[in-house]
Structure 1
Amino acid sequence: MEVRDIDGELYSAESSAAFAAVPDSFQRLWTPHRLVYIENGQQPGEEACPFCVAPTLDDEQALIVARGVHCYVLLNLFPYNSGHLLVCPYRHVATYDLATDEEVAEIASMTQTAMRVLTAVSNAHGFNIGMNQGKIAGAGVAEHLHQHIVPRWGQDSNFFPIIAGTKAIPRLLGDVRAEVAAAWPASGGPTTDPTEQTR
């Protein structure tokens, strides 16, 4: 059988029913177009590391919402959801095990603050938090450590990203940056959580 991928490229597909395999409970969504991203990784050269360049720019231009002593927080330029934040150390270090104790502590603290701020300003129902360590693991910028904080809401996924390869982002990055930055506590510590009164 011949089918076309999302870019219109023609490729062959065949049923796996006659292959030697043991069935399991997983459903699989095959995305061969992602292989180019994984293999090439869109990796910038060291001299053009966006996470080294960002702190040298003004906050609005770099989409930075908060600066700490060892780390800073900025909006992801290619967000999965509105408010998708990244926590980055200033130091150009590739993986979590190479971060200093001070960097690790501030990444954790800023991640907690980011969750509180996003809950307060956008009523997030949950979060995906994590790091892709190294090019092979799919890190978009593998040589500079960064933690993703993705706010989630009930039913925020639909056929659009799966079938159409498109993600609908309802708010402009500049507007989200201004809102999150304004709500970020000056001390970097806990912000007022509207749900705390009910706990």
Structure 2
Amino acid sequence: MTARIERIVTSGQFTLDGGSWDVENNVWIVGDDHEAVVIDAAHDAEAIAAAVGDRRLTAIVCTHAHNDHVNAAPALADLTGASIWLHRDDLPLWQMTHPDRDPDEHLTDGQVIEAAGADLTVLHTPGHAPGAVCLHDPGLGVVFTGDTLFQGGPGATGRSYSHFPTIIDSIRDRLLTLPPETKVLTGHGEATTIGAEAPHLEEWIARGH
């Protein structure tokens, strides 16, 4: 059975560098009728668990460790028995939110996470955060970009642990090389495609962040 992709939107706060902002996050569920993975367990573990239903949740994959993307991960893991996966370079950010609970597994560039007909290849795309990753599934024609690439440009780089030239390199070298029809499923807001964003790279560089 081919994997399907579901989105739920949860609300909460993003907190970093002494500020807090109200946000709505996309939580992605990839799987079939029997098992699934969750990408970015944001804000509401019970709502995410309800969306997963009686399927076996095999992994909670974190695109990066800003609190609004990981704050529900331990509770969701406790509810479902799933393992939490995070790139090692984002451990300092993770520990700001969860000082007493480490991720279960570390994501590595090129790793493939298999889930119910999906094959999610991990692309390490630092810039928004040091351990930011995107997840590309050629078979489904999608890339989950977290906060690395949005409709209209790169993720924010004005706060701690972020770096604008690095996110531009990640987008240019790891994402814009994907097929132009690849659907970009983001951490916030609406989807786009690689082909829709690629022509604007030089504008983003000129604009800077």
Structures share fold, TM-score greater than 0.5: no
Using the size of structure 1 for normalisation, the TM-score is 0.28
Larger radius of gyration: 1
Higher relative contact order (CA 8 A, sep 6+): 1
Using the size of structure 2 for normalisation, the TM-score is 0.27
Higher strand share: 2
Higher helix share: 1
